[in-house]
Structure 1
Amino acid sequence: MPQNKSQHIAALADQCVQCGLCLPVCPTYALDGNEAESPRGRIAIAAALAKGLAPVTDEVREPLDHCLGCLSCERVCPAQVRFGELLMETRGLLGPAPQRPRVLLALARQPALLRLTRLVGLHRWHAGLARWLPLPSRWRTALALAASTSAPQLAPSLADAPRARTLARVALFPGCVASVEDAAAQQAAIALLEAVGHPVIRLPGLCCGALDAHGGDTQAAARAARRVRDAWQASGASVLVTVTPGCIGQLRNALPDARVDDPYALLAAQAEHLQFRPLPRRVALHLPCTQLNVARSGEALQALLGRVPTLEVMPLPARCCGAAGSHLLEFPERAAALRAPTLEAAGAVAPQALLSSNIGCRLHLAAGLAEQGSTVPTLHPLVLLAQQLATGQHS
């Protein structure tokens, strides 16, 4: 290992005081009951690798590959260990895992292919094809994700809404998968932001590099970061937003001097200028780990949803659903086990819709609902907010 990288990892690991407060909030420790599958255990493994005290074997690296990167441990760490940084640095030194599904991940980042699956109506015939694939299977999981459909998402039209103010110019980052799967949420974000006075420019569809960074492919992640920087510099905007919180951490790494956020903080700051039509419906709200622990916008989102009259919002317990970027494709059986409590909690409140901001979480949950035969639709919270926005409102 390069000496400077090894020393940096060792220094990050040495900040851990081994108190164990991270154990109760770690979803993989709860799943396995294995110290190696806890933040404390992974920190010890990273330190041993960095100091040359352990060989790089499949058995040693497996707990690192299993980590979801949810960062719940960072939220409770009294020593303020930068676990996310330590994890990424260690994975970067180890490089991509030999079993990493490179073909599947490459296909997942092709917006044109995703559009094709919608055109051919994959959701209508994937069940027959899935029967030919083993369970659990990465390809079967990928097929279920590609066939997952959300509720009908109407593109909001706010042409009649007055623009009484002009606030900071915002650039919207579409992403790769999200540029197709979250197209309606992106239209909703633009409509809502412009309704409160933020001019919005949409950047080209690019991959932020998060999947590569989390998989240890530092060179590919660096190339993605350069493309992000070029697009941002050409935008002339003051704030970069994405409707996919899973991209935020990587975008902040690429643009350390820029304000990078999801739209909720900007909208919540101008909430008095937003009026919504009543919606007598009960919805379950899933808050993705990246929204809770990276964007930290869960309260802002709940405050916005709370402004929709007669809407009953049932927040689900804060736990990782198991999607975690590429984790649901790399370890489909573990991802399904991690998803089960969230689906059970959602079923207990009998919602008429399930909301989640992160595209990977939403597709993962939708696929789980479909397996159960549930018809509960899933959608992005921004779509619901834009659909209920009272047009012609006066700011």
Structure 2
Amino acid sequence: MNDMPLEKPQHRIAVLADQCVQCGLCLPVCPTYALDGNEAESPRGRIAIAAALARGQVLPSPELREPLDHCLGCLNCQRACPAGVRYEELLIETRALLGPSPQRPETLLSLIKRPKLNRWLQWLARMTGAGYWLPAILGGRKLGAWQSALSLLKGVERPARISTAAEMAPSTQGTIALFPGCAASVQDSEAERAAELLLAAAGYRVIRLPAFCCGALDWHDGAADAAGAAAVQVRQAWANTNADYLVTVTPGCLSALRHALPDVRVDDAYHLLAERAEQLRFRPLPLRVALHVPCTQSNVARSDAVLTDLLQRIPQLNVLRLSPPPYCCGAAGTHVLQFPERAAPLRNDLLSQVKTLDVQMLLSSNIGCRLHLAAGLAEQASTLPTMHPLTLLAQQWERVL
């Protein structure tokens, strides 16, 4: 294989693809295969396409790249694979080789990745009610992403503001740098305050990094240069912290942050809180809640079990987890913006589960997933509130004197 007459990226893709033994155990856990029943829309079908492109056996075409663009990057297949195929790496390399899709909404994403401008535009949209009337007058494929983005503003309620000013015990467990991100720093600001409060209560010192994009949206879409520039910015911000851990409240950022800082412990808050769970006390809450575990939380952070344990520390809280793979809400980075017609049925499958559970709240840790699910609930005229689990934990936290 070392003598393969291929350029380095193509060589890596071919080597990664050769790890696949075509056993098909990935098929039952793949949401897009469940949606289409089409082998090209399955992990092993995409691996075969990537290998053929890397070896020059086929030329890139819209028909060939479409299944690769449709991939959610949920990594259910990678977790189920008995051969240890590094599917995430293969997908990222192949998308970088092809470059971003022509349907990628570059202008919209440039706004999303700029938190200050994003915050101002969202305020303007809410003040004018643009999320309700503007989609009706927009049309055409190129404007579809803007319609989807505006629809995500519907149905999201602002939770009660969490104060982090409470006096805490001395910090003894090290320093955590909290990464705000781009969209999360705007839409998940309460969850970030909740993380600060809970981590400080558990004995950690928490500092904040500046708000900017980690590069996950660009890695997901094959915009390698922009993703590389974001990784440099992450390393520069981290270098000034002298922190022991880097934490994000959005599991969708984890892969990009870990890629930028391979020698740093990069995690969501749940593992660190679980290690100090005996320091935390919670007030009772007689509530029945549905827990949506985002794919990245299950397959990248792998913190779904510790999250459930933390929530169960709230007395009287009844937590009902939604079904495991092949279910995916369809948000998947920019997927909901580029392919809303595919994201909608995936979301509707999950919301039908929520309806059968007869719950009073829906919890989800990933900002894109929660906005997507909340928009679906709003379309169904449902008043079911959605919330980040950290926000709920912080609201029920009880200071021990």
TM-score tier by shorter-chain length is over 0.9
Q: Work out the CA distance in 2 between the residues paired with 1:144 and 1:362.
A: 13
1:378 to 372, 386, 389: 386
Unmatched tracts of structure 1, length 5 or more: none
1:321 aligns with: 329
How much does 1:154 deviate?
2.1
2:30 to 4, 26, 31: 26
- The alignment-based identity, stated in percent, is 59
1:366 to 358, 364, 374: 374
Deviations 1:10-29 (A, max 9, x none): 00000000000000000000
SS at match of 2:358: coil
Deviations 1:159-200 (A, max 9, x none): 14x415510110000001111111100000000000010000
Q: Which moved more, 1:365-374 or 1:123-132?
A: 123-132
2:284 aligns with: 278
2:301 to 282, 295, 298: 295
Q: Work out the CA distance in 1 between the residues paired with 2:213 and 2:155.
A: 21
How much does 1:124 deviate?
3.9
1:241 aligns with: 247
How much does 1:151 deviate?
4.4
Structure 2 residue 130 is matched with structure 1 residue 140: no
2:66 aligns with: 62
2:44 to 40, 43, 67: 40
Structure 2 residue 311 is matched with structure 1 residue 305: yes
Q: Work out the CA distance in 1 between the residues paired with 2:282 and 2:140.
A: 44
Deviations 1:104-139 (A, max 9, x none): 211221222332245332584522222223498322
SS at match of 1:146: coil
Q: Work out the CA distance in 2 between the residues paired with 1:125 and 1:4.
A: 47
Q: Work out the CA distance in 1 between the residues paired with 2:146 and 2:392.
A: 32
Q: Is the 8 A contact 1:169 1:199 kept in 2?
A: yes
Which residue identity lines up with residue 260 of structure 1 in the other structure? Answer: V
Q: Which moved more, 1:116-125 or 1:275-284?
A: 116-125
Q: Normalising by structure 1, report the TM-score.
A: 0.96
Which residue identity lines up with residue 128 of structure 1 in the other structure? Answer: W
Aligned residues between the structures: 392
2:162 aligns with: 155
Unmatched tracts of structure 2, length 5 or more: none
SS at match of 2:290: strand
Deviations 1:255-292 (A, max 9, x none): 00000000000001111111000011111110000000
Which residue identity lines up with residue 231 of structure 2 in the other structure? Answer: A
2:132 aligns with: 127
Over the aligned positions, Cα root-mean-square deviation in angstroms equals: 1.6
2:185 to 169, 172, 179: 179
1:6 aligns with: 10
Q: Is the 8 A contact 2:159 2:190 kept in 1?
A: no
Q: Normalising by structure 2, report the TM-score.
A: 0.95
